[in-house]
Chains A and B, each alone.
Chain A
Amino acid sequence: MSNMTEVKIIFTGTMGAGKTTAINAISEIKTISTEAVATDETAQRKETTTVGMDYGEVTVDEGLVLRLYGTPGQRRFRHMWEILAKGALGFVILVDNARPAPLEDLSIYLDNFKNHIAASAAVIGVTRTDVSAQPDIDAYYQYLAEREEMHPVMTVDVRRREDVLMLLDSLLLSREFE
Protein backbone atom coordinates (compact mmCIF):
# COMPACT_ATOMS: atom_id res chain seq x y z
CA MET A 1 0.00 0.00 0.00
CA SER A 2 2.87 2.38 0.71
CA ASN A 3 3.74 3.11 -2.90
CA MET A 4 0.12 3.56 -3.83
CA THR A 5 -0.57 6.93 -5.43
CA GLU A 6 -3.92 8.46 -4.65
CA VAL A 7 -5.46 11.20 -6.67
CA LYS A 8 -8.39 13.11 -5.30
CA ILE A 9 -11.04 14.77 -7.45
CA ILE A 10 -13.81 16.91 -5.94
CA PHE A 11 -17.31 17.14 -7.35
CA THR A 12 -19.01 20.24 -6.04
CA GLY A 13 -21.64 22.72 -7.19
CA THR A 14 -25.31 23.61 -6.96
CA MET A 15 -27.65 21.46 -4.91
CA GLY A 16 -29.37 18.98 -7.18
CA ALA A 17 -27.01 19.62 -10.10
CA GLY A 18 -25.96 15.95 -10.08
CA LYS A 19 -22.78 15.51 -8.01
CA THR A 20 -24.00 12.27 -6.42
CA THR A 21 -25.30 11.06 -9.79
CA ALA A 22 -21.97 11.84 -11.50
CA ILE A 23 -19.91 9.89 -8.97
CA ASN A 24 -22.32 6.96 -9.18
CA ALA A 25 -21.97 7.02 -12.96
CA ILE A 26 -18.24 6.33 -12.94
CA SER A 27 -17.32 4.75 -9.61
CA GLU A 28 -16.19 1.14 -9.71
CA ILE A 29 -16.97 0.50 -6.07
CA LYS A 30 -20.36 0.79 -4.47
CA THR A 31 -20.35 4.48 -3.59
CA ILE A 32 -20.53 5.64 -0.02
CA SER A 33 -23.29 8.15 0.33
CA THR A 34 -24.73 10.28 3.08
CA GLU A 35 -28.16 11.14 1.77
CA ALA A 36 -30.84 12.52 4.06
CA VAL A 37 -34.52 13.09 3.37
CA ALA A 38 -34.87 16.65 2.08
CA THR A 39 -37.25 18.90 4.02
CA ASP A 40 -36.69 22.16 2.13
CA GLU A 41 -37.49 23.23 -1.44
CA THR A 42 -35.12 20.52 -2.70
CA ALA A 43 -37.89 18.04 -1.88
CA GLN A 44 -39.95 19.35 -4.79
CA ARG A 45 -37.38 17.90 -7.17
CA LYS A 46 -35.81 14.94 -5.42
CA GLU A 47 -36.29 13.02 -2.23
CA THR A 48 -32.84 13.19 -0.71
CA THR A 49 -29.88 15.51 -0.48
CA THR A 50 -26.23 14.92 0.42
CA VAL A 51 -25.40 16.08 3.96
CA GLY A 52 -21.92 14.61 4.48
CA MET A 53 -20.14 13.52 1.34
CA ASP A 54 -20.19 11.08 -1.56
CA TYR A 55 -17.28 8.79 -2.13
CA GLY A 56 -16.38 6.60 -5.09
CA GLU A 57 -13.24 5.08 -6.60
CA VAL A 58 -11.73 4.22 -9.93
CA THR A 59 -8.68 1.96 -9.84
CA VAL A 60 -6.27 3.00 -12.56
CA ASP A 61 -3.66 0.30 -12.08
CA GLU A 62 -2.18 -1.55 -9.14
CA GLY A 63 -0.34 1.54 -7.98
CA LEU A 64 -2.90 4.25 -8.61
CA VAL A 65 -6.42 4.94 -7.36
CA LEU A 66 -8.65 7.82 -8.31
CA ARG A 67 -10.71 8.97 -5.36
CA LEU A 68 -13.91 10.82 -6.16
CA TYR A 69 -15.41 13.00 -3.45
CA GLY A 70 -18.76 14.71 -3.76
CA THR A 71 -19.56 17.63 -1.49
CA PRO A 72 -23.03 18.56 -0.27
CA GLY A 73 -24.39 21.29 -2.53
CA GLN A 74 -26.15 23.42 0.01
CA ARG A 75 -24.40 26.30 1.64
CA ARG A 76 -25.22 25.33 5.19
CA PHE A 77 -22.84 22.40 4.72
CA ARG A 78 -19.86 24.66 3.99
CA HIS A 79 -18.00 23.01 6.86
CA MET A 80 -17.76 19.88 4.70
CA TRP A 81 -16.48 21.84 1.68
CA GLU A 82 -13.30 22.87 3.41
CA ILE A 83 -12.68 19.43 4.90
CA LEU A 84 -13.12 17.69 1.54
CA ALA A 85 -11.26 20.19 -0.65
CA LYS A 86 -7.79 19.68 0.80
CA GLY A 87 -5.21 18.19 -1.54
CA ALA A 88 -7.48 17.81 -4.56
CA LEU A 89 -6.04 17.46 -8.06
CA GLY A 90 -8.98 19.44 -9.36
CA PHE A 91 -12.61 20.49 -8.99
CA VAL A 92 -15.58 19.51 -11.10
CA ILE A 93 -18.19 22.22 -10.52
CA LEU A 94 -21.68 21.20 -11.59
CA VAL A 95 -24.29 23.90 -12.17
CA ASP A 96 -28.01 23.25 -12.53
CA ASN A 97 -29.03 25.39 -15.51
CA ALA A 98 -32.70 25.13 -14.65
CA ARG A 99 -32.44 27.16 -11.45
CA PRO A 100 -33.31 30.88 -11.42
CA ALA A 101 -29.73 32.28 -11.43
CA PRO A 102 -27.18 29.66 -12.49
CA LEU A 103 -24.31 32.16 -12.85
CA GLU A 104 -24.80 33.40 -9.29
CA ASP A 105 -24.92 29.77 -8.17
CA LEU A 106 -21.61 29.19 -9.93
CA SER A 107 -20.01 32.16 -8.21
CA ILE A 108 -20.65 30.59 -4.78
CA TYR A 109 -18.33 27.68 -5.60
CA LEU A 110 -15.76 29.71 -7.55
CA ASP A 111 -15.50 32.10 -4.61
CA ASN A 112 -15.47 29.48 -1.93
CA PHE A 113 -12.84 27.25 -3.56
CA LYS A 114 -10.89 30.16 -5.05
CA ASN A 115 -7.54 29.36 -3.45
CA HIS A 116 -7.86 25.64 -4.00
CA ILE A 117 -8.76 26.12 -7.66
CA ALA A 118 -5.90 28.57 -8.18
CA ALA A 119 -3.54 25.86 -6.95
CA SER A 120 -5.15 23.10 -9.03
CA ALA A 121 -7.82 23.32 -11.77
CA ALA A 122 -11.56 23.43 -12.31
CA VAL A 123 -14.01 22.40 -14.98
CA ILE A 124 -17.62 23.56 -15.12
CA GLY A 125 -20.32 21.11 -16.14
CA VAL A 126 -23.67 22.69 -16.97
CA THR A 127 -26.47 20.21 -16.29
CA ARG A 128 -30.21 20.05 -17.00
CA THR A 129 -29.88 22.12 -20.20
CA ASP A 130 -32.70 19.94 -21.50
CA VAL A 131 -34.93 21.65 -18.95
CA SER A 132 -33.55 25.15 -19.49
CA ALA A 133 -31.25 26.15 -22.37
CA GLN A 134 -30.53 29.60 -20.95
CA PRO A 135 -28.04 30.91 -19.97
CA ASP A 136 -26.10 29.41 -22.86
CA ILE A 137 -22.43 28.45 -22.81
CA ASP A 138 -21.44 31.84 -24.26
CA ALA A 139 -22.98 33.51 -21.20
CA TYR A 140 -20.86 31.31 -18.94
CA TYR A 141 -17.65 32.24 -20.77
CA GLN A 142 -18.67 35.89 -20.67
CA TYR A 143 -19.20 35.60 -16.94
CA LEU A 144 -15.84 33.89 -16.40
CA ALA A 145 -14.14 36.60 -18.48
CA GLU A 146 -15.68 39.27 -16.22
CA ARG A 147 -14.20 37.42 -13.26
CA GLU A 148 -10.88 37.16 -15.11
CA GLU A 149 -10.94 33.40 -14.79
CA MET A 150 -10.82 30.74 -17.46
CA HIS A 151 -12.11 27.20 -17.04
CA PRO A 152 -13.62 24.75 -19.50
CA VAL A 153 -17.43 24.96 -19.56
CA MET A 154 -19.33 22.02 -20.99
CA THR A 155 -22.94 21.00 -21.39
CA VAL A 156 -23.34 17.62 -19.73
CA ASP A 157 -25.87 15.07 -18.70
CA VAL A 158 -24.15 13.47 -15.72
CA ARG A 159 -26.44 10.46 -15.93
CA ARG A 160 -24.24 9.48 -18.88
CA ARG A 161 -20.87 7.99 -17.99
CA GLU A 162 -19.11 9.40 -21.07
CA ASP A 163 -20.15 12.94 -20.15
CA VAL A 164 -18.66 12.58 -16.67
CA LEU A 165 -15.47 11.11 -18.14
CA MET A 166 -15.25 14.08 -20.51
CA LEU A 167 -15.32 16.45 -17.50
CA LEU A 168 -12.61 14.41 -15.78
CA ASP A 169 -10.54 14.38 -18.95
CA SER A 170 -10.62 18.13 -19.39
CA LEU A 171 -9.63 18.53 -15.76
CA LEU A 172 -6.69 16.15 -16.17
CA LEU A 173 -5.60 17.86 -19.40
CA SER A 174 -5.77 21.27 -17.75
CA ARG A 175 -3.34 19.99 -15.15
CA GLU A 176 -1.14 18.36 -17.79
CA PHE A 177 -0.73 21.57 -19.79
CA GLU A 178 -0.55 24.04 -16.92
Chain B
Amino acid sequence: MNQPILSKEAIALMLRMRFLIKNEFGELLSFQTQEAAAKFCEYGFRSSQPALRELAQLLSSLISAPVSEAPRPRESSILELLASDLIEQPVRLVFTRIPAFVIDKPRRRCLLNFSFEELLEELRPLGTVDPGLTRLEPISLGELAELEKKAISASLPGLMWLCGLQFSQGQLLPKPRSFPAFGLSRWPDFGTLPHAAQHLKMATFLMRKTASLDGLTAGTGATKNEAVAFLNACFLCGWLKRVEGVAPPAPAAPKSGLRGVIGRIRVRLGMSG
Protein backbone atom coordinates (compact mmCIF):
# COMPACT_ATOMS: atom_id res chain seq x y z
CA MET B 1 0.00 0.00 0.00
CA ASN B 2 3.01 2.21 0.29
CA GLN B 3 3.52 2.23 -3.46
CA PRO B 4 3.73 5.68 -5.03
CA ILE B 5 0.57 6.65 -6.82
CA LEU B 6 0.92 6.75 -10.59
CA SER B 7 0.40 9.98 -12.44
CA LYS B 8 -2.60 10.42 -14.76
CA GLU B 9 -0.25 10.55 -17.70
CA ALA B 10 1.33 7.22 -16.77
CA ILE B 11 -2.08 5.59 -16.44
CA ALA B 12 -3.19 7.00 -19.78
CA LEU B 13 -0.05 5.59 -21.39
CA MET B 14 -0.65 2.21 -19.84
CA LEU B 15 -4.23 2.20 -21.08
CA ARG B 16 -3.01 2.72 -24.62
CA MET B 17 -0.35 0.07 -24.17
CA ARG B 18 -2.75 -2.42 -22.70
CA PHE B 19 -4.66 -2.55 -25.93
CA LEU B 20 -1.52 -3.33 -27.91
CA ILE B 21 -0.07 -5.73 -25.34
CA LYS B 22 -3.26 -7.72 -25.21
CA ASN B 23 -2.97 -8.35 -28.90
CA GLU B 24 0.52 -9.65 -28.58
CA PHE B 25 0.84 -11.43 -25.26
CA GLY B 26 -2.75 -12.37 -24.65
CA GLU B 27 -2.59 -11.24 -21.02
CA LEU B 28 -4.85 -8.79 -19.32
CA LEU B 29 -2.72 -6.55 -17.11
CA SER B 30 -3.87 -4.44 -14.25
CA PHE B 31 -2.58 -0.89 -14.38
CA GLN B 32 -2.89 0.52 -10.92
CA THR B 33 0.50 0.10 -9.38
CA GLN B 34 4.11 0.96 -9.85
CA GLU B 35 4.82 -2.72 -10.14
CA ALA B 36 2.29 -3.03 -12.98
CA ALA B 37 3.86 -0.08 -14.73
CA ALA B 38 7.26 -1.78 -14.57
CA LYS B 39 5.69 -4.88 -16.05
CA PHE B 40 4.17 -2.77 -18.84
CA CYS B 41 7.62 -1.39 -19.63
CA GLU B 42 9.13 -4.84 -19.68
CA TYR B 43 6.47 -6.14 -22.11
CA GLY B 44 6.74 -3.01 -24.17
CA PHE B 45 10.47 -3.32 -24.66
CA ARG B 46 10.14 -6.95 -25.65
CA SER B 47 7.44 -6.24 -28.15
CA SER B 48 7.78 -6.46 -31.89
CA GLN B 49 5.55 -3.41 -32.32
CA PRO B 50 7.50 -0.19 -32.73
CA ALA B 51 4.60 1.85 -31.33
CA LEU B 52 4.56 -0.21 -28.18
CA ARG B 53 8.31 0.08 -27.67
CA GLU B 54 8.01 3.82 -27.98
CA LEU B 55 5.24 3.99 -25.40
CA ALA B 56 7.31 1.81 -23.06
CA GLN B 57 10.17 4.26 -23.37
CA LEU B 58 7.87 7.14 -22.43
CA LEU B 59 6.36 5.24 -19.56
CA SER B 60 9.70 4.26 -18.08
CA SER B 61 10.78 7.88 -18.08
CA LEU B 62 7.56 8.80 -16.23
CA ILE B 63 7.73 6.29 -13.41
CA SER B 64 10.40 6.42 -10.77
CA ALA B 65 11.23 2.73 -10.75
CA PRO B 66 14.27 2.16 -12.94
CA VAL B 67 13.54 -0.18 -15.81
CA SER B 68 16.41 -1.43 -17.82
CA GLU B 69 15.82 -1.56 -21.56
CA ALA B 70 16.10 -5.10 -22.84
CA PRO B 71 19.04 -5.52 -25.21
CA ARG B 72 17.95 -5.46 -28.84
CA PRO B 73 17.77 -9.02 -30.11
CA ARG B 74 19.87 -9.89 -33.11
CA GLU B 75 17.98 -9.43 -36.35
CA SER B 76 18.21 -11.36 -39.57
CA SER B 77 16.90 -10.56 -43.03
CA ILE B 78 13.45 -11.72 -44.04
CA LEU B 79 14.56 -12.64 -47.57
CA GLU B 80 17.26 -14.99 -46.35
CA LEU B 81 14.78 -16.61 -44.02
CA LEU B 82 12.19 -17.04 -46.79
CA ALA B 83 14.86 -18.55 -49.04
CA SER B 84 16.10 -20.93 -46.33
CA ASP B 85 14.89 -24.37 -45.28
CA LEU B 86 14.01 -23.03 -41.82
CA ILE B 87 10.45 -22.55 -42.99
CA GLU B 88 9.87 -26.06 -44.30
CA GLN B 89 7.72 -26.62 -41.20
CA PRO B 90 5.10 -24.16 -39.93
CA VAL B 91 6.78 -21.37 -37.91
CA ARG B 92 5.84 -18.14 -36.21
CA LEU B 93 8.02 -15.21 -37.19
CA VAL B 94 8.60 -12.37 -34.74
CA PHE B 95 9.99 -9.11 -36.12
CA THR B 96 11.30 -5.82 -34.80
CA ARG B 97 9.34 -3.61 -37.17
CA ILE B 98 6.17 -5.46 -38.10
CA PRO B 99 3.69 -7.63 -36.17
CA ALA B 100 4.36 -11.35 -35.82
CA PHE B 101 2.70 -13.90 -38.11
CA VAL B 102 2.85 -17.57 -39.04
CA ILE B 103 4.16 -19.12 -42.25
CA ASP B 104 2.86 -22.54 -43.26
CA LYS B 105 4.93 -23.38 -46.30
CA PRO B 106 3.60 -26.93 -46.83
CA ARG B 107 0.19 -25.40 -47.46
CA ARG B 108 1.57 -22.33 -49.23
CA ARG B 109 -0.08 -19.85 -46.89
CA CYS B 110 0.55 -17.35 -44.10
CA LEU B 111 -1.69 -17.11 -41.06
CA LEU B 112 -2.27 -13.61 -39.75
CA ASN B 113 -4.09 -12.04 -36.80
CA PHE B 114 -5.02 -9.22 -39.17
CA SER B 115 -5.84 -8.87 -42.83
CA PHE B 116 -3.26 -9.16 -45.58
CA GLU B 117 -3.98 -5.52 -46.46
CA GLU B 118 -3.02 -4.52 -42.91
CA LEU B 119 0.26 -6.39 -43.32
CA LEU B 120 0.87 -4.46 -46.52
CA GLU B 121 0.14 -1.25 -44.61
CA GLU B 122 2.84 -2.24 -42.12
CA LEU B 123 5.33 -3.16 -44.83
CA ARG B 124 4.90 -0.13 -47.05
CA PRO B 125 6.42 2.54 -44.78
CA LEU B 126 9.53 0.38 -44.29
CA GLY B 127 10.69 1.12 -47.83
CA THR B 128 13.65 -1.17 -48.38
CA VAL B 129 14.43 -1.42 -44.62
CA ASP B 130 14.20 -5.06 -43.59
CA PRO B 131 11.37 -5.90 -41.14
CA GLY B 132 14.07 -7.37 -38.84
CA LEU B 133 13.39 -10.96 -37.91
CA THR B 134 14.25 -11.61 -34.25
CA ARG B 135 12.64 -14.92 -33.40
CA LEU B 136 11.47 -18.09 -35.05
CA GLU B 137 9.06 -20.36 -33.16
CA PRO B 138 8.08 -23.77 -34.48
CA ILE B 139 4.32 -24.31 -34.44
CA SER B 140 2.91 -27.64 -33.38
CA LEU B 141 0.16 -29.24 -35.43
CA GLY B 142 -2.25 -28.68 -32.54
CA GLU B 143 -1.45 -25.00 -32.42
CA LEU B 144 -1.78 -24.78 -36.19
CA ALA B 145 -5.25 -26.30 -35.97
CA GLU B 146 -6.17 -23.72 -33.31
CA LEU B 147 -4.82 -20.90 -35.46
CA GLU B 148 -6.72 -22.08 -38.49
CA LYS B 149 -9.96 -21.39 -36.68
CA LYS B 150 -9.34 -17.73 -36.01
CA ALA B 151 -6.45 -16.52 -38.15
CA ILE B 152 -6.75 -14.99 -41.61
CA SER B 153 -5.10 -17.04 -44.31
CA ALA B 154 -3.16 -15.34 -47.10
CA SER B 155 -1.16 -16.65 -50.04
CA LEU B 156 2.50 -17.38 -49.26
CA PRO B 157 3.68 -16.83 -52.87
CA GLY B 158 1.93 -13.45 -52.65
CA LEU B 159 3.98 -12.54 -49.57
CA MET B 160 7.21 -13.90 -51.02
CA TRP B 161 6.68 -11.96 -54.23
CA LEU B 162 6.14 -8.72 -52.32
CA CYS B 163 9.12 -9.26 -50.01
CA GLY B 164 11.36 -10.07 -52.97
CA LEU B 165 10.37 -6.87 -54.73
CA GLN B 166 10.64 -4.70 -51.63
CA PHE B 167 13.57 -5.95 -49.57
CA SER B 168 16.19 -7.07 -52.09
CA GLN B 169 18.33 -3.94 -51.58
CA GLY B 170 20.10 -4.55 -54.87
CA GLN B 171 21.48 -7.90 -53.72
CA LEU B 172 20.70 -11.21 -55.36
CA LEU B 173 20.04 -13.95 -52.80
CA PRO B 174 23.02 -16.33 -52.35
CA LYS B 175 21.47 -19.20 -54.32
CA PRO B 176 20.46 -17.35 -57.49
CA ARG B 177 23.75 -15.42 -57.24
CA SER B 178 25.44 -18.73 -58.10
CA PHE B 179 23.33 -19.25 -61.26
CA PRO B 180 25.35 -18.62 -64.43
CA ALA B 181 22.18 -17.44 -66.18
CA PHE B 182 18.43 -17.36 -65.60
CA GLY B 183 15.25 -18.61 -67.12
CA LEU B 184 11.66 -18.76 -65.83
CA SER B 185 9.40 -21.79 -65.59
CA ARG B 186 6.17 -19.78 -65.81
CA TRP B 187 4.80 -16.26 -65.81
CA PRO B 188 3.93 -14.90 -62.39
CA ASP B 189 0.15 -14.37 -62.22
CA PHE B 190 0.13 -10.66 -62.78
CA GLY B 191 -3.62 -10.71 -62.44
CA THR B 192 -3.22 -11.19 -58.69
CA LEU B 193 0.37 -10.09 -57.91
CA PRO B 194 1.08 -6.38 -57.68
CA HIS B 195 3.43 -5.41 -60.47
CA ALA B 196 4.73 -2.76 -62.81
CA ALA B 197 4.84 -2.98 -66.62
CA GLN B 198 8.57 -3.67 -66.25
CA HIS B 199 7.85 -6.98 -64.48
CA LEU B 200 5.67 -8.29 -67.28
CA LYS B 201 8.42 -7.35 -69.70
CA MET B 202 11.15 -9.11 -67.71
CA ALA B 203 8.96 -12.19 -67.22
CA THR B 204 8.20 -12.48 -70.92
CA PHE B 205 11.86 -11.93 -71.77
CA LEU B 206 12.97 -14.76 -69.46
CA MET B 207 10.18 -17.03 -70.72
CA ARG B 208 11.28 -16.58 -74.32
CA LYS B 209 15.07 -16.38 -73.80
CA THR B 210 17.60 -17.10 -71.07
CA ALA B 211 19.92 -14.39 -69.83
CA SER B 212 22.40 -13.31 -67.18
CA LEU B 213 21.57 -10.34 -64.99
CA ASP B 214 23.34 -8.05 -67.47
CA GLY B 215 21.53 -9.70 -70.37
CA LEU B 216 18.20 -9.14 -68.64
CA THR B 217 18.80 -5.44 -68.03
CA ALA B 218 20.17 -4.95 -71.55
CA GLY B 219 17.26 -6.81 -73.13
CA THR B 220 14.45 -5.12 -71.22
CA GLY B 221 15.73 -1.71 -70.21
CA ALA B 222 15.14 -2.52 -66.53
CA THR B 223 17.62 -1.12 -63.99
CA LYS B 224 19.87 -3.52 -62.09
CA ASN B 225 17.91 -2.98 -58.87
CA GLU B 226 14.61 -3.71 -60.61
CA ALA B 227 16.05 -6.84 -62.21
CA VAL B 228 17.56 -8.11 -58.95
CA ALA B 229 14.31 -7.56 -57.06
CA PHE B 230 12.37 -9.34 -59.80
CA LEU B 231 14.78 -12.30 -59.87
CA ASN B 232 14.69 -12.66 -56.08
CA ALA B 233 10.89 -12.52 -56.08
CA CYS B 234 10.68 -15.21 -58.78
CA PHE B 235 13.27 -17.32 -56.98
CA LEU B 236 11.33 -17.21 -53.70
CA CYS B 237 8.15 -18.22 -55.49
CA GLY B 238 9.99 -21.16 -57.10
CA TRP B 239 9.76 -19.96 -60.71
CA LEU B 240 13.42 -19.07 -61.37
CA LYS B 241 15.43 -21.61 -63.34
CA ARG B 242 19.18 -22.10 -63.23
CA VAL B 243 20.62 -21.99 -66.72
CA GLU B 244 24.12 -23.27 -67.35
CA GLY B 245 26.54 -21.31 -69.47
CA VAL B 246 26.39 -17.57 -69.46
CA ALA B 247 24.27 -16.38 -72.35
CA PRO B 248 25.90 -13.33 -73.90
CA PRO B 249 23.92 -10.14 -73.29
CA ALA B 250 21.31 -9.80 -76.01
CA PRO B 251 22.53 -7.34 -78.62
CA ALA B 252 20.36 -4.25 -78.83
CA ALA B 253 17.43 -5.61 -80.80
CA PRO B 254 17.16 -4.19 -84.29
CA LYS B 255 13.88 -2.32 -84.75
CA SER B 256 12.18 -4.69 -87.12
CA GLY B 257 8.82 -3.65 -88.57
CA LEU B 258 6.92 -5.74 -86.06
CA ARG B 259 8.99 -4.51 -83.08
CA GLY B 260 8.48 -0.91 -84.04
CA VAL B 261 4.74 -1.42 -84.30
CA ILE B 262 4.60 -3.20 -80.95
CA GLY B 263 6.64 -0.45 -79.32
CA ARG B 264 4.19 2.18 -80.59
CA ILE B 265 1.18 0.26 -79.32
CA ARG B 266 2.73 -0.26 -75.90
CA VAL B 267 3.56 3.42 -75.52
CA ARG B 268 0.09 4.42 -76.68
CA LEU B 269 -1.67 2.10 -74.26
CA GLY B 270 0.46 3.32 -71.38
CA MET B 271 2.55 0.18 -71.06
CA SER B 272 5.80 1.98 -70.45
CA GLY B 273 9.22 0.55 -71.19
Contact = CB atoms under 8 A, between A and B. Distances in A.
A touching B, CB within 8 angstroms: yes
Contact of A169 (B189, B192, B200, B209): B200
Interface of A: 5, 7, 58, 60-61, 64, 66, 125-126, 137, 141, 150, 152-156, 163, 165-166, 168-170, 172-178
A125 B187 CA distance: 12
Most buried by A among B197, B201, B204, B258: B204
B251 to A, nearest CB: 14
A151 to B, nearest CB: 9
Contacts, number: 81
B126 interface: no
Interface of A is mostly: mixed
B269 interface: yes
Nearest to B258: A175
Most buried by B among A66, A154, A165, A168: A154
A173 B271 CA distance: 10
Contacts of A172: 262, 265-266, 271
Nearest to B253: A176
A168 B208 contact: no
A158 B201 CA distance: 21
Contact of A177 (B191, B197, B208, B264): B208
Most buried by B among A61, A125, A172: A172
Given A169-B269, A175-B258, A152 B264 contact: no
B66 interface: no
A176 B262 contact: yes
Interface string B236-273: 00000000000000000100001101111110111100
A4 to B, nearest CB: 12
Interface in B175-211: 186-187, 189-192, 197, 200-201, 203-205, 207-209
Interface residues of B, number: 29
19 contacts: A58-B269, A60-B265, A60-B268, A60-B269, A66-B265, A126-B191, A150-B207, A152-B187, A154-B189, A155-B192, A156-B191, A165-B270, A169-B200, A170-B190, A172-B265, A172-B266, A176-B259, A177-B205, A177-B219
The 8 A-B residue pairs with the shortest CB-CB distance in the complex, in nearest-first order: A155-B191, A173-B204, A177-B208, A154-B191, A152-B187, A60-B268, A169-B271, A172-B262
Interface of B: 186-187, 189-192, 197, 200-201, 203-205, 207-209, 219, 253, 258-259, 261-266, 268-271
Contacts of B191: 125-126, 154-156, 163, 166
A166 B265 contact: no
Contacts of B190: 154, 166, 170
Most buried by A among B191, B203, B261: B191
A170 B204 contact: yes
A90 to B, nearest CB: 10
Contact of B197 (A126, A141, A155, A169): A169
Contacts of A156: 191
A64 B267 CA distance: 12
A75 B214 CA distance: 47
Contacts of A173: 200-201, 204-205, 262, 266
Contacts of B192: 155
A177 B186 contact: no
Nearest to B205: A177
B224 to A, nearest CB: 20
